[in-house]
Amino acid sequence: MSTPETAGFVRLRVELVLQIDDAEAVTRAAQRRISEDGDMPTEERVHAESTVTEDTAEALAYLVDPFDLVSEVPGIELQQASWSSEQVDYDPDSPDWDLDEDDVDDDEEEERVG
């Protein structure tokens, strides 16, 4: 149930599992984005270039921006965002990868158990 104080805020959770078919292309794209960022300080740029070269997941994190996902949605303003990426062992048949498991809130779970 919404209260007037919180009715205007929504937490949107998105989890993606991506298959990287061309790690070099991802790395090059991240390096290009870093080099085009005129606001990034030199020291941070050097660190970022090193990081994306060593880790494809980090390169991907430089390319995916939550603002880009919602910037064209009318009537909203992004207030806060965080994201990360990591290499994972993915098995689509494993119950550990059931994307619907977070759809049940704690109250519903307690009602089923108790």
Q: Under a CB-based contact definition with an 8 Å cutoff, are residues 55 and 41 in contact?
A: no
Closest CA to 37 of 14, 65, 10: 65
Above 80 in pLDDT, residue 14? yes
Q: How many structural domains are present in the chain?
A: 1
Residue 70 lies in a domain: yes
pLDDT band with cut points at 50, 70 and 90 for residue 95: confident
Residue 68 lies in a domain: yes
pTM above 0.75, yes or no: no
Distance CA 95, CA 101 (A): 9
Closest CA to 18 of 51, 62, 56, 73: 56
Residue 2 lies in a domain: no
Largest CA distance in the chain: 57
pLDDT digits (tens, 9 = 90+) for 28-70: 999 999 999 999 999 999 999 999 999 999 999 989 988 888 9
Q: Is the dihedral of CA 99, 101, 102, 105 positive or negative?
A: positive
